[in-house]
Structure 1
């Protein structure tokens, strides 16, 4: 056999896949139903026996929830589209500019969503069609959980399974205590206080997970607590000036506590009548922040006797957040970017 090859050195072309959870294509019951079906069919999200779960999902949830959830999406939908998607596009553009300024060359960046559009496979295709042969997968979840970050790994692996060739890939697992992440959070709080004043208590509301996940080895709770402590220290807060809580409970299983909704209802009785609340586990504003926390949470707190409730936006495309994402890419790329 005679082998021939082009012996000229070929510089690797590095690309970035920015990943978030996803969003319906529109705030309609039809699109919400499609999104919920994909999301809730993932065994990483709901790991009940499929023989038990699928009849509940297909027979009850998907026939009763889409209309109500669509109305919630309608209450927070922006003129440009889904808040999560609009912010993700802004993050992609800002990160591209930051990497260009740092490296002096363009680094291809694509979006991929765990559920909905664009899919992770679409994102990988968008990179490989640009000649990318080395991919950095960057899930925008600061804290690792088997229900958020792990599905990204699963989906990327499944995408590669059907291919004869795939790009060399590095995977960012977590950044819950990265100094630039903590500083970006601290800057967002300081900017909010400078504009609105400081409330009696800062609430840090993280997305919840079932307690069972933690007892079975998920490090999510510990990582949330570390983030909260580091942020409180960066802000110089006393123990009485901040609280950690967990939101978005789903189903009857025991979830992490304290629950955000229960805490909001109890604080006024403890003499805490003004709060600032933020969602450090979310890299972009979405239904869980803009509706569940900013709208519904405020109603719960005020109805319980609270006087002042102020929501602090997620980091979104703030410069300090983009600086963090740029640093994460460069750290993961290492020698890939040296040539």
Structure 2
């Protein structure tokens, strides 16, 4: 029976008889929507400007009155930053697919999750971005077209922040506001202290270190930073990051001198969460530390902030300041360990719906 043009018996009984000429109805499915931050469509200035405009116009990302921020954004930032950002993206661009690694990995995560959930025939997996393409609205539309009456929204951010997780929820509900027959929705909570997540990180670190020809004296757990005022207003992000590192230390049997928390990717003049990753890398090298490694527990997949900023810029900073051995530990990405995390949490959040 062709499900694209007919209604199955179970759904038909629930709906009752339909009037003549009623359009085909597909119902009874549950969607799992993986959402990541976002990506430009290309490295050219126009694509970068479009992406940065959407990203930096989000009031949860930049908490400044529009009257103050928009002249800076449109008068300075969008006229200077796109070219520089585009050049940085070119260094890590997936030229085979002509897309960013973040898009490549997020798509793969969705495909692998769909395969892992094949025992749940009523579950459909889609993926989207908060900023850029494929958009959250497009992903929701695809799920609705396939008969999803319920959606589990899975923001791919282990630690909660209003600048990331909350913006994903905002965008999802903006899309739902335009849908008359709106589906029921669940949102996956932050999973920074989930045992399956800590175990996956620990194993990935152990495997990576086992393949090095040196032993790092210090390992930095580097998280994307947020402005300090956001933390002071109650954003739990800092606490989530610190706990992630503590749990990792306990699992790996490392001291607080061996595995330390730092914060990267600050933007603008105001103070952000400290200690800063780049300043710490420079300080360690100047103090005589010759070997370090950096892991990024707050990123579900490798992206511009990990591949270019950490593996590129920070490696250069370390070597320039006198360091010798530097290694970036890849994100979980679509590895077996990373997929174990996503699958376990998705199955838990689907309970009661499938």
**Aligned equivalents of 1:195, 1:171: Cα separation in 2:** 37
Q: State the match for 1:234 in structure 2.
A: 251
**1:98–1:323 contact (8 Å) kept in structure 2:** no
**Aligned equivalents of 1:241, 1:207: Cα separation in 2:** 20
Residue by residue, what CA displacement relative to the aligned partner does 1:102-126 show, whole Å, maximum 9, x if unpaired? x353631111100000111001011
What displacement does 1:298 show? 0.2
**2:32–2:346 contact (8 Å) kept in structure 1:** yes
| Higher mean C-alpha deviation, range 42-51 or range 232-241 | 232-241
What displacement does 1:174 show? 0.5
Matches of residues 42-191 of structure 1 in structure 2 within 5 Å? 42-79=58-95, 80=97, 81-100=99-118, 103-105=119-121, 107-191=123-207
Q: Which structure carries more helix by proportion?
A: 1
SS class of match (1:227): helix
**2:224–2:264 contact (8 Å) kept in structure 1:** yes
Q: 1:195 to 1:106 in 2, by over 3 A?
A: farther
Residue by residue, what CA displacement relative to the aligned partner does 1:131-181 show, whole Å, maximum 9, x if unpaired? 111100000000000100111111111111122111111001300000010
Residue 257, structure 1, aligned to residue 277, structure 2? no
- Root mean square deviation of aligned Cα: 1.5
Residue 28, structure 1, aligned to residue 44, structure 2? yes
Q: State the match for 1:331 in structure 2.
A: 348
Q: State the match for 1:195 in structure 2.
A: 211
What displacement does 1:205 show? 0.3
SS class of match (1:26): coil
Give the total of aligned pairs: 331
What displacement does 1:308 show? 0.4
- TM-score, normalised via structure 2 length: 0.91
Q: State the match for 1:218 in structure 2.
A: 235
- TM-score, normalised via structure 1 length: 0.95
What displacement does 1:8 show? 4.1
Q: State the match for 2:55 in structure 1.
A: 39
Q: State the match for 1:247 in structure 2.
A: 264
Aligned structure 1 segments of 4 or more residues deviating by more than 6 angstroms: none
**Aligned equivalents of 1:82, 1:256: Cα separation in 2:** 27
**Aligned equivalents of 1:90, 1:334: Cα separation in 2:** 24
SS class of match (2:275): coil
Residue by residue, what CA displacement relative to the aligned partner does 1:76-104 show, whole Å, maximum 9, x if unpaired? 1012221111111111111111112xx35
Residue by residue, what CA displacement relative to the aligned partner does 1:290-318 show, whole Å, maximum 9, x if unpaired? 00000001000110110100001110001
